[in-house]
Structure 1
């Protein structure tokens, strides 16, 4: 950690000259209470869709320096992780509720009739979203990831959840799986769970019981999962039946594998460690630079022998004797640790600070990422050299209080069409402008839709 800079004072702002805040839109009723936390963001056209523990907000961002609230939908059910796909909006519910309506109240998960899972809205009219479907999933839906079929007619929703309990009828241990929802795009009310693949038949490290988040790279048929005690790489060529192809642990430095980000080429994965669950002060000298940090892994390609076609055992001339002839070699992948990255500033002990959600900045030939660190602020860093990542910009507020820790700060900080948008838990929506010759070319890259956990928008320029 960098001891040269003392922690900021309450709500004091500091930044590098190349990263400036150009707008802030505070939370508004009914989402303006301290416990109505702002969460993740998705983008489409001139709109940003932001989750909140009590529902979601649609922002008009046609003019990034002057965002406006278009509409707010009250639908309590933490944490309301959010994605959009065409005219559909997906909202995760990860708190046990009395029913699947937006008028539900909290109810014990020990009751079989309690509900949690996925909600689907029709957003063809952005001013009046319509709730059209719910799908209950095991242990609810803490986060989710959209994985479109190759023809685009179906979208698969990979639902991540955890914390099973023997007293919860719909969340029994070991819960070493995810739920996969199949959604026909033209008939979304037919959405249903089609599989619950077991990703950890051996139990995983420290008895991993589910995943926190999965990031997919559909164009490459790969996904990376951050699953409590394990980081995994998945083959998703069969969307309904993902297969774990590599698995890594970090017993020394990683407490809770939280999220994952591929680089544009799909040759690296950045995993985050949410030490303290996002509610602790971990950006200090006591914790150090390797815990509550990012871990960069190179995705190495290797060749393996392909066993060839094996007939199903049985009677008759076609029965297989357990031997197969090799038919050449095929590619597979494995994760190789390269280095850690953590913001170099010392934060106050009243600031929750740890690695959290971020996205690529689409600079061709470079691996540059913007990332939220809760009250540690927003960091822009370059990991083109996997072994030697370096920060190139930052922006942060001081603590919400100098007397006690109040949960706050940037939940998600994402690059979208030339600007950085940050969902601040307490302060609302921030918009920032990065002015740096190293990222200048990214301003020319425009996408129509962005769900950060469904990568691929920047695959080609």
Structure 2
């Protein structure tokens, strides 16, 4: 039976660890809880040195980094709210500040305004005991100009709230997910994107009409994540694939067939579309990244995306999918229908099932957030830990290293100054160094 991220819920426990961190991006029913591994139970490690751990960040879901001149600070968000750490010693972060929001959910893909020193926390409707159908969702704007004293600058209710992402240098936010509320259209499969103007962070203004509709072969569906590439294109991932938009400047709109000005509220379609079902059967793409490079596949012509999906066992769980954007620059992804579907061509895939260092008995194996530096991609696979892949040949990604503690709940890895910081929901933050 399919147990996808679209059908999970936050399960309140105090002494148990679920096979999947509860409510990872889900909606209704959670998996049966499992007892935590025995202390000292073995995991698996290869070509990685664990150089540090931050256990007081237990419940971590996402993290980011801020530069204060000669001072480097890590901000960690999660079920506890927000914590700040001084990185004077990068392998032993020191807790310096905290914004306590016990019961907060979920803060995936927490983003920061590096210039204004702001952190944007997405409040999922399941936070503080709520539920998808009737719970309140919104955005907290947190001021960290003084990282020792994070303070809420403002809070605004938004009809979506699973993730929120910076658009146009954090002047605007795009917020999406999770499943639809009772007061939203019955034919929606999930919440699309709402745009919030945060040019004045003390007075956020939510645009009343959502965008990124009809994304799943003509059906409005669950938008999970937005990532902006180095050229300014905002890539929107969710059920139905990945589609990219210009959010500023003048561009030719391939759907309307004319040149027009792109704005965060009225973006111009660029490229993208559905992912082939042979690569991602669930059609639910959790997050994505377009590498900016020239190569065999053309200039900036690949899109990396991960499917989050959970089946009984490990073999069918979500994978990393690398697709070509070729053939999608004419608006094909916006004209796709069930009768005449458009799909991006799959270039390569990689999944953790059956790979060296994996243990299906230790828990779920779905793909989750990843980060890319050059040809090395580092990716979280929940209980299967953190994996390092060589993607120099995108048709054949190869695992070169892994770090899977027995109690791993790896949610998101981040490259930072030669190290990888992993937000682990049970362990806090693991700090890893890839061996040469």
1:52: how far off? 1.0
Q: How far apart are the structure 1 equivalents of 2:133 and 2:224?
A: 22
- Equivalence for 2:351: 342
| CA shift in 2, pair 1:54/1:192, >3 Å | same
**2 CA distance for matches of 1:270 and 1:129?**
34
Write out per-residue CA displacement over residues 214-257 of structure 1, whole angstroms, 9 at most, x where no aligned residue: 1111x413222221232223333323322443311333342221
Return the index of the structure with the highest Cα Rg: 1
CA displacement, residues 107-142 of structure 1 (integer Å, 9 cap, x when unaligned):
45665xx5311110111111111111112111x311
Contact 2:279 2:349 in 1 (8 A): no
Ranges in structure 1 where 5+ consecutive residues have no aligned partner:
1-7, 98-104, 306-333, 401-407, 437-461
| Kept after mapping to 2: 8 A contact 1:359/1:415 | yes
Off by >6 Å, runs of 4+ in structure 1: 301-305
The answer as to 2:414 corresponding to 1:392 is no
Q: 1:143 aligns with which of 141, 160, 163?
A: 163
> What is aligned with 1:73?
99
**Over residues 421-445 of structure 1, what are the superposed CA-to-partner deviations in whole Å (9 max), with x where a residue is unaligned?**
0111111111111232xxxxxxxxx
Tell me if structure 2 keeps the 8 A contact 1:84–1:90. Answer: yes
| Cα displacement (A) at 1:50 | 1.3
Matches of 2:52 and 2:372, distance apart in 1: 21
Contact 2:290 2:302 in 1 (8 A): yes
Rate the CA distance shift 1:66–1:12 in 2: closer, same or farther, 3 A: same
The structure 1 residue matched to 2:179, chosen from 160, 163, 167, is: 163
How does 1:5-154 map onto structure 2 within 5 Å? 11-17=41-47, 19-27=48-56, 37-45=59-67, 46-75=72-101, 76-81=103-108, 82-85=110-113, 86=115, 87-96=117-126, 105-107=128-130, 115-138=136-159, 140-149=160-169
State the partner residue of 2:305.
Answer: 271
Structure 2, unpaired ranges of 5+: 1-36, 249-261, 294-299, 332-342
Q: How does 1:51-450 map to 2 (within 5 A)?
A: 51-75=77-101, 76-81=103-108, 82-85=110-113, 86=115, 87-96=117-126, 105-107=128-130, 115-138=136-159, 140-149=160-169, 155-165=171-181, 168-169=182-183, 173-174=187-188, 177-184=192-199, 187-194=200-207, 196-201=209-214, 204-205=216-217, 207=219, 209-217=221-229, 219-237=230-248, 238=262, 239-244=264-269, 245-254=271-280, 255=282, 256-265=284-293, 266-276=300-310, 283=314, 286-287=315-316, 291-300=317-326, 335-343=344-352, 344-345=355-356, 346-361=358-373, 363=374, 367-398=375-406, 400=407, 409-436=409-436
Q: Tell me how far 1:392 sits from its aligned partner.
A: 1.9
| Count of residue correspondences | 353
TM-score (norm. length: structure 1): 0.70
The alpha-carbon distance between structure 1 residues 95 and 11, as it changes in their structure 2 partners (threshold 3 A), is: farther
Over the aligned positions, Cα root-mean-square deviation in angstroms equals 2.8
| Structure 2: distance between partners of 1:282 and 1:43 | 36
Match of 1:451 in 2: none
1:281–1:349 CA contact under 8 A, matched in 2 = no
